Amino acid sequence: MDFLFLGTSSGTPTRTRNVTGLAMRSGRRWILIDCGEGIQYRLMHSPLSPVHLEAVLITHLHGDHVYGLPGLLGSMSMLGRKMPLVLVGPAELEAFLKPIIELTQLRLSFPLLFKQAGPDLDLELLGHKVSAIELSHRIQSFAYGFTEKSPPLHLNIAKLKQIGVPDGPILGQLKRGETVVWNGQALNRADYCLPQCAPLRFAIGGDNDQPQRLAEFCQGADLLVHEATYLHADWQKVGPGPMHSSAQMVAEMAQACGLRQLVLTHFSPRYADSKGQGSWVGDLKSEATQHFSGPVFLAFDGAHFDLDAYGNLQSQPSWLT
């Protein structure tokens, strides 16, 4: 699974960071989590095609997470999209979009399939069962949990090489579960597979001032992407009103529940991108690593991370050109 960050700023954009948007891609298929203003412009510089977008999941209805959605829908319609688009979010998402569609005469060329986030969400996307976990914010906010339904099987190539099986169509047949005869011997996939991986499990959080609400889902999970709007000292100065998290708060929860890896995003514009005068985003990572022993990654606009079949997260070259 690929994670491509389209926007990583909180509240307002900066000269280098757009407001929130995250694409998750498997092959050509992809979904979008949150769609702040300007996300479709970011998409024009990315390897993602709106033709293959299967769903948009909105964590909550604050503008920096949703103002870009009407424009994206309109552009996809002008491009002639016909495939239905799944829209997941709080109950008010449909009420937000429908007047815009009507008042701006946005004649969509494709149907919208609304699904309400909550405990009864029944949805499968990109081979994963999707659940919604309610968070704590000024308005209703959700995280989306993803659990892989059928972990892929991997052939033991070394074992096959030992009996002389060459690269080529035979390997493809075995992967598909077909019985193959090689040198008079019947080969079955079950005899030449590596141990099956545990299903991947990860969560993408919306705005939230109580990271512990994700503790149950994140017990032993592979990955959490969560806001770290402030350093903890700044969080204490700002006070509880904005209802956001500090890097320390997220890291402490991650450590307590045995999370494997953590990606921080949604940074206050007060933090610079590079070290200099004042605080910068690197300080957020430093704070998190003091409280979490696993790998900590900082998202940035153009960041590309790959979560492999074994649940290992690797940073890839930026896609932003």
Q: Domain map of the chain by residue range?
A: 2-152+197-316, 157-192
Q: Which of 2, 34, 64, 222 is catalytic?
A: 64
Percent of the chain with pLDDT over 90: 82
User: Residue 178 and residue 163: Cα distance in Å, rounded?
Assistant: 18
What topology is assigned to 2-152+197-316 in CATH?
Metallo-beta-lactamase; Chain A (3.60.15)
Q: Which residues contact 229 (CB under 8 A, 6 or more apart)?
A: 10, 207, 235, 242, 244, 245, 246, 266, 267, 268
| Global pTM value | 0.89
Rg (CA), the chain: 22
pLDDT at 100 (0 to 100) = 97
User: Is 64 among the residues known to form the active site?
Assistant: yes
270-310 pLDDT per residue, tens: 999 999 878 999 999 999 999 999 999 999 999 999 999 88
Average pLDDT over residues 142-171: 88
- The answer to whether the CB of 94 falls within 8 A of the CB of 69 is no
2-56 pLDDT per residue, tens: 999 999 999 999 999 999 999 999 999 999 999 999 999 999 999 999 989 999 9
Among 206, 197, 186, which residue's Cα sits nearest to residue 145?
206
